[in-house]
Amino acid sequence: MKRIVLPALLLFSAFSYSQEIAENKIDEFSHHAIKRTSWDLLVYKFNGSMYAHTRISRIDSSFYLNLRYVCRGACVMAEGDKFMLKLDNDSIIALPNLKLAAGCIGCGATGLPGSNALGLDLSFPITVDQLKDLCSHTITKVRLYLTDGYVEASPSSGNAQNLRKQAEIILK
């Protein structure tokens, strides 16, 4: 029995993943306090419209939701375009894009998958109140506005929980 349990536990621990703080430092040049979660999958739809990862960053007292999105063709996000998160209480968190972002090869990747495709690496300012909303409600749908329209998808319940965990640990 012990021969079966031990390998099973080792295998489970190798494949289990928990959200964590990936970076927590004081930048030696800018002297900014920087804290970031690890990247985690937000939406992946096989043959779908969206493949995106998120992490949350804190730089001094400012918070940012970072998004890496793999495009299905050319993509540009203009200044003022929004990334929107619909929550289970029907409220919407709208995060504005602060600067023009054009797709580039590998920009939407967090590893090997997507590294040879066009993508966007985006950073949206987010308030403490919006982060608290993410902690207490589940995301049911996301929408990313681009210059030629928008893409939207519904994250799986597990992926929606990933973003909730990111918000919880960055606020600690």
* Domains of the chain and CATH, by start: 2-171 (2.60.40)
Q: Per mean pLDDT, which of 42-46, 49-53, 78-82 is the most reliable?
A: 78-82
pLDDT in tens, 68-117: 999 887 799 999 999 999 999 999 999 999 999 999 888 888 888 778 88
Per cent of the chain over pLDDT 70 is: 88
Average pLDDT, integer, range 43-66: 91
- Contact of 75 with 146, CB cutoff 8 Å: yes
pTM: 0.85
Residue in this structure with the two tokens 């494949």, named with its chain if needed? 15
